[in-house]
Structure 1
Amino acid sequence: METSTFTRRAVLRAIGAAGLAGVAAAVTGCAPTIGTAALPRIPAAYDGPPVRLKFWNGLTGGDGPVMRELLAEFTREHPNVRIDMYALPWPDFYQKFPAAVTSGLAPDFALMHNFQVATNAARKVIMPVDEILQTVGLREEDYLPVVWGSGVYRDQRWSLPLDMWPDSLFYNRRVLERAGLDPDAPPADRAAYEHALDALASSGVRGHWLPAVDPQGVGRGFDSLLWQFGGEHYSGDGRAATFAEQPGVDALAWQQSLIRTGWSPRDVSGSDASMAFKNDQNAFLWGGPGAFINDLGSVEGLDWDVAPLPRIGTEQAAFSGSHQFVVARQPRFDADRLAAVVTFLGWILANSTGWASAGPVPARLPVLDSPELAQMTAQSHVAGGVEHIRFYPLVPGIAEVQTSILYPAIGDALLSLGDPRAALETATTQASFLLQENAEKYGRA
């Protein structure tokens, strides 16, 4: 599934866990206790009679066929294990997965986003997986601290990281060159980025189409900028929002300046920005490798590349997510099925180079450093910025706060060009109320 460009392991391991802001509320709460509290002991590998597993995820795009091919490859090597993959749109997955578990119809294992792990751990619909770490070959020294810690909630590990997908700077080389800019030297800081936008404007190109009508896309850009300006989204206990403090105001004000200055059209969507990029009418896209690498790579004649996000604030930082494997809680575990699950998880985490063709880069540093990923130009360029990735804090319900309150507020402020502080203060009040509700809903430590 994955690999990398140069030997970054020593450098990356030296990076602290700065991206792990905040810890979580509690696991108890009103969610029912289902099945056993710990996984039973299993052998190192499954070598029993034929078994058929159910695997749920939200891989309904171009990443789905990549995962299916990996499953087929695993089955060719392990003919006694068949894995049926069920891909649902992510919103449907997160709604139906807990219901399936509570009704006793859970899949054997699933793939979910890192920022949903704490929520599902608090709901008690996934199992702690500390007992299988050695069996699947996970070692702390093989991961960035922010990634290693992303599956740990209340001192237990609930998920196994597969990948990282940091927001990155995708740039149209032909458009830059036409504006007199060096297509081999994408802007890496605010001064260079704004200089490039000015040069592009002089050539008649609005260089950064900000997708204000798509809260998800523009909100993740805000996340990166908030961290770059030295801010955090939430208090350390996860009970109060802090994005209305000065770093958040500075981040939103800079986004607004893209529109006020004319560097971006005012009312565009992510698809508008992508289409303009493909037609040489736009120079820059901010987004994740899973969304863009294969999409842009399929456009014949498009001359593009990718680099880490430019540093607009005082710190280098970029939003990132991670797909993580979880083991679903069962009314009763079947030893053969569980052993087969663990055998597959160990295999795919060790042989994840193929997954990189879906766009994300490997979470596991030995795979990230392999020669195979170095041959994937776009992925290796994305991997060059992973030491600066940041994750949301490990707070149950955090994704709901981001998507239902913060991101719409960012979108509204960009569409209206209203006062950024006022917009963020209103969102902070609403978010803090929801965080308090979540703390009660999911219990107290």
Structure 2
Amino acid sequence: MQPPLLSRRRALAGGAGALAAAGALGSLSGCAAPATAAGPGQTLLRYWHLFGGGDGVNMQGMLDDFRAGHPDIALEASTLQWGAPYYTKLGMAGAGGRAPELAALHLARLAGFAPGRLLDPFDLDLLAELGVREEDFPQDIWRRGQAIGKQYAVPLDTHPFVLYYQTEVCEKAGLLSGGRLRPISGADDFADALRAARKATGQPGLVTETLGPDCITPWRLFSSFYAQSGGTVLSPDGKRLALDDSRALRVLEYLARLVEEGLMVRRVDYAGSIGVFNGGKTAFHLNGEWEITTFKTTGLPFSMTRIPALFGTAAAQADCHAFVLPHQRDRGGATNEAAHTLVAWMLKHSVAWAQGGHVPAYLPVLDDPAYLALKPQSEYRTVIDDVALDEPAWFAGSASRLWIELGAVFSGVLTGSRSPRNALTEAKARLRNLLDTRNPLPGAAS
């Protein structure tokens, strides 16, 4: 998810400190909706989420439709500040047992939320009665929502790293076939495509975020291509370092070569990378799929596809928006049923959510003609089976210390301030420090 640029930057810039400081609660008011009063015969359902910008517009429209179809549920939806502040407030609410009935959570952050203490499990029988079952989801994504034998998160979508391409530039460079980007196979083939684009325009063929105070795209680049090579950053339980030096260096050295050869813009922040691609002379842009609305609004002739398999498999770095049940001392009854009802309804109506670029996790929607008609959103839907989520650790996932700290390290490889080997050494040192640091959320395990 990509909220409005400025708010995202503020949230990420203070990520680590906001997580650790209980005093941060004073600044967590966000954009909370006014309190909703349940009328006679209604059940109050409180829902916290962190969706702003285009995501927020889509979410609000879906919630309005839910209200119209469920007059027996008084839905109070609150939009809170994205990033670390949101997670601090959610964790403290769960620790106090006075949390809302339902909340959104990035799936890769589940491990940090102490399932069983800060979160309550879903009632799978109740979800089944509402038409939502395990087999309706990609197996790996569904299982990432499990802990201690129970289901603590139900995925709404995946939001992967994708490849945007400017169709007119790619046509001029001979990179299209039938109006779509021709298949790219391997690192050398991708470099050749960038060279062809540069020859056609005189500009570097690729732009993506390479620097900034909270620059996370270099981490997403590395994570995608390193996952393609078969490597993992942490052990499967998220408790030990598993970074493979040879695989990591292969990826970092390749990225360094792209910049050194002038095939990729060297120094550009997030907003600048959007502006460069919007300028219409750069063939490719690597980013999350959430910028689809930006480029549609400007009228840029573009499309999107999965990240090519440069180092083996077709993996792409991603996270997933998911629903969770924050811990309540007296969870159950009508309010808990209402929470499950909203989850099932949102999943079944997630074509509307997909308009913002996210790939629905509820598999029946991927075959819905209304979803297939969304272009270019449906062009990269097969990535749902190949997403590379962070290993389960409290410091991983969207807006996490892992993304911020390793993004800063790998930024140096792209800007030329670090060698690939130096970056690898520093990344391993920071990962060891994170592994040795206790989870600061109240009530959470280390």
Range of TM-score over shorter length:
0.7 to 0.9
2:54 alignment partner, one of 62, 65, 81: 62
The corresponding residue for 1:140 is: 134
1:84 correspondence with 2:76: yes
The corresponding residue for 2:6 is: none
The corresponding residue for 2:430 is: 430
- TM-score, reference length from structure 2: 0.83
Q: Supply the distance in 2 between the matched residues of 1:133 and 1:395 (Cα, whole angstroms).
A: 27
CA 1:186–1:213: 2 relative to 1, 3 Å: farther
Conserved? CA contact 1:136–1:345, under 8 Å: no
Conserved? CA contact 1:212–1:269, under 8 Å: yes
Post-superposition CA distance 1:122-165 (Å, at most 9, x none): 58221111444424433222221221112012322111111112
Q: Supply the distance in 2 between the matched residues of 1:227 and 1:186 (Cα, whole angstroms).
A: 23
Matched letter for residue 160 of structure 1? V
The corresponding residue for 1:125 is: 118
Q: Supply the distance in 1 between the matched residues of 2:149 and 2:332 (Cα, whole angstroms).
A: 26
CA 1:439–1:79: 2 relative to 1, 3 Å: closer
Conserved? CA contact 1:244–1:428, under 8 Å: no
The corresponding residue for 1:102 is: 95
The corresponding residue for 2:238 is: 238
- Residue 232 of structure 1, CA deviation: 0.8
Paired positions, count: 395
- Residue 310 of structure 1, CA deviation: 1.0
Alignment of 1:251-262 (within 5 A): 251-262=251-262
Conserved? CA contact 2:216–2:404, under 8 Å: no
The corresponding residue for 1:197 is: 194
Q: Supply the distance in 1 between the matched residues of 2:328 and 2:243 (Cα, whole angstroms).
A: 39
Q: Supply the distance in 2 between the matched residues of 1:440 and 1:125 (Cα, whole angstroms).
A: 13
Q: Supply the distance in 1 between the matched residues of 2:164 and 2:69 (Cα, whole angstroms).
A: 37
- Residue 177 of structure 1, CA deviation: 2.0
The corresponding residue for 1:32 is: none
- Residue 192 of structure 1, CA deviation: 3.0
RMSD: 2.2
Q: Supply the distance in 2 between the matched residues of 1:428 and 1:244 (Cα, whole angstroms).
A: 10
The corresponding residue for 1:5 is: none
State, as a whole percentage, how many aligned pairs show the same letter: 27
Conserved? CA contact 2:136–2:362, under 8 Å: yes
The corresponding residue for 2:22 is: none
CA 1:64–1:396: 2 relative to 1, 3 Å: same
1:331 alignment partner, one of 329, 332, 341: 329
1:228 correspondence with 2:245: no
- TM-score, reference length from structure 1: 0.83
Post-superposition CA distance 1:45-91 (Å, at most 9, x none): xxx92123221111012111111111111111111112122112322
2:181 alignment partner, one of 174, 185, 200: 185
The corresponding residue for 2:204 is: 206
Conserved? CA contact 1:187–1:196, under 8 Å: no
1:307 alignment partner, one of 301, 305, 308: 305
Matched letter for residue 368 of structure 2? S
1:278 correspondence with 2:296: no
* Unmatched 5+ stretches in structure 1: 1-47
- Residue 369 of structure 1, CA deviation: 1.3
The corresponding residue for 1:296 is: 295
Post-superposition CA distance 1:82-134 (Å, at most 9, x none): 21221123222112112233345422210111111121135822111144442
The corresponding residue for 1:391 is: 389
Conserved? CA contact 2:114–2:445, under 8 Å: no
- Residue 412 of structure 1, CA deviation: 2.4
Conserved? CA contact 1:179–1:200, under 8 Å: yes
- Residue 191 of structure 1, CA deviation: 3.3
Tell me the SS of whatever aligns to 2:53: coil
CA 1:102–1:387: 2 relative to 1, 3 Å: closer
CA 1:346–1:180: 2 relative to 1, 3 Å: closer
Tell me the SS of whatever aligns to 1:101: helix
Larger RCO, structure (CA 8 Å, separation 6 or more): 1
Q: Supply the distance in 1 between the matched residues of 2:151 and 2:48 (Cα, whole angstroms).
A: 20
* Unmatched 5+ stretches in structure 2: 1-39
Matched letter for residue 263 of structure 1? L
The corresponding residue for 2:5 is: none
- Residue 242 of structure 1, CA deviation: 2.8
Q: Supply the distance in 2 between the matched residues of 1:104 and 1:124 (Cα, whole angstroms).
A: 9
